[in-house]
Structure 1
Amino acid sequence: MQIQTKFHGNIEINKTEIWHFPKGLPGFDEETEFALLPIENNTAFQVLQSTKNANTAFIIANPYTIIDNYSFKIDEPTIDLLKITKPEDIMVLAILSMKQPFEQSTINLQAPLIFQLYNKTAKQMILNDNHFDVRHPIRKGGN
């Protein structure tokens, strides 16, 4: 399947690589299919790219590599929607806001992306926890 992307141009992806967001993303309700794409020479970050709109793409990362004490409980609606049966079923990523200079970039810890690894569904879950910030610094010492 050919898709037009924001950062990689026109690329071929396998349909089995598509992640389905049944309810879209907050603010992007119509965007329900995404691909996770690598960033050349950067293993810390990836691109969450819409398969339908080239301009809808987000830089994402594993929040556990950025903040040591990050933890939250997945709510029942998310468990039900994604059909999560055990912790090993999921992968958690978070959206970054990239800035110049890079040291001013932030990660959204208040709305993690939950990926169900076995059925390729995902959801951005909004936390009701004021311990984590929408704009948490990703610079060293941002913990």
Structure 2
Amino acid sequence: MEINAKYFGQVSYEENEAIHILNGLIGFEAYTEYLPIPFHEENDSLISLQCLQDEALSFILMNPFGLLADYSPSLSREDLKALGTESAEDLSYYVICVMRDSVAESTVNLKAPLVVNARSRQARQVILDQAEYTFRHVLGEMIKEES
């Protein structure tokens, strides 16, 4: 299969590489089929989440553990069940990045990560019940804190 990806042009992919986001992303509930495309083949620190239903729609995702070493999302039993697992160890987490003119001004949403079950390719955006995470963490401030 092929898609004209927003950031990569023509991309070939296999059906089993796609992920299905249960109930879609917040604000984009009608779109549930996506192809994650890493910007760097060797790691998942930065990913383009390309919508398969609308080629113009793509989100930039970041691996939150590379940004915040002590990021520790806690999922409810309902979230785990919806993702088809009983253990959070089966899951990968990604946060949506809103790009600004500079990387330092860009923000990530640590409050509502996209959680992916790599085995089933089912994903869900969850809203964490943890006060330390907000919808807009400024990357420049996070980098200063980690230094």
- TM-score (ref. length: structure 2): 0.88
Residues 1:77 and 2:47 are matched in the alignment: no
The AA in structure 1 aligned to 2:31 is E
- Cα distance change of structure 1 residues 41 and 118 upon mapping to structure 2, 3 Å threshold: closer
SS in 2 for 1:141: helix
**Could you tell me which residue of structure 2 aligns to residue 141 of structure 1?**
144
**Could you tell me which residue of structure 1 aligns to residue 7 of structure 2?**
7
Deviation at 1:130, TM superposition (A): 2.4
**Could you tell me which residue of structure 2 aligns to residue 55 of structure 1?**
56
Structure-1 separation of matches of 2:76 and 2:41: 35
Aligned length, in residue pairs: 143
The AA in structure 2 aligned to 1:93 is Y
Deviation at 1:40, TM superposition (A): 5.1
Residues 1:122 and 2:128 are matched in the alignment: no
**Could you tell me which residue of structure 2 aligns to residue 32 of structure 1?**
32
Is the contact between residue 3 and residue 52 of structure 1 (CA under 8 Å) also seen in structure 2? Answer: no
Unaligned stretches of 5+ in structure 2? none
The AA in structure 1 aligned to 2:20 is H
Structure-2 separation of matches of 1:40 and 1:24: 25
- TM-score (ref. length: structure 1): 0.91
Structure-1 separation of matches of 2:119 and 2:103: 34
Structure-1 separation of matches of 2:59 and 2:21: 14
SS in 1 for 2:80: helix
SS in 2 for 1:79: helix
Structure-1 separation of matches of 2:22 and 2:104: 34
- RMSD of aligned Cα (Å): 1.8
Is the contact between residue 67 and residue 142 of structure 1 (CA under 8 Å) also seen in structure 2? Answer: no
Q: Which moved more, 1:109-118 or 1:35-44?
A: 35-44
- Cα distance change of structure 1 residues 82 and 132 upon mapping to structure 2, 3 Å threshold: same
Percent of pairs with identical residues: 27
Q: Which moved more, 1:123-132 or 1:57-66?
A: 123-132
SS in 1 for 2:92: strand
Deviation at 1:41, TM superposition (A): 8.1
Structure-2 separation of matches of 1:26 and 1:128: 16
Deviation at 1:22, TM superposition (A): 2.3
Is the contact between residue 94 and residue 113 of structure 2 (CA under 8 Å) also seen in structure 1? Answer: yes
